[in-house]
Homo-oligomer: A and B are copies of this chain.
Amino acid sequence: MDEHTHLNIDENIRECIDDCHRCHDICLATVGHCLEMGGEHAEPDHIQLLLDCAEICQTSANFMLRTSDFHGQVCEVCAEVCERCAEDCERFEDDQVMQQCAEVCRNCARSCRDMAGLA
Contacts and interface: CB of A to CB of B under 8 A. Distances in A.
Interface residues of A, number: 53
A70 interface: yes
A4 B101 CA distance: 10
B44 A35 contact: yes
A43 interface: yes
A45 to B, nearest CB: 8
Contacts of A67: 32, 48
A37 B52 CA distance: 20
Interface string A34-50: 01101000111001110
Contacts of A28: 62, 65-66
Interface in A1-40: 1, 3-4, 6-7, 9, 17, 21-22, 25-26, 28-33, 35-36, 38
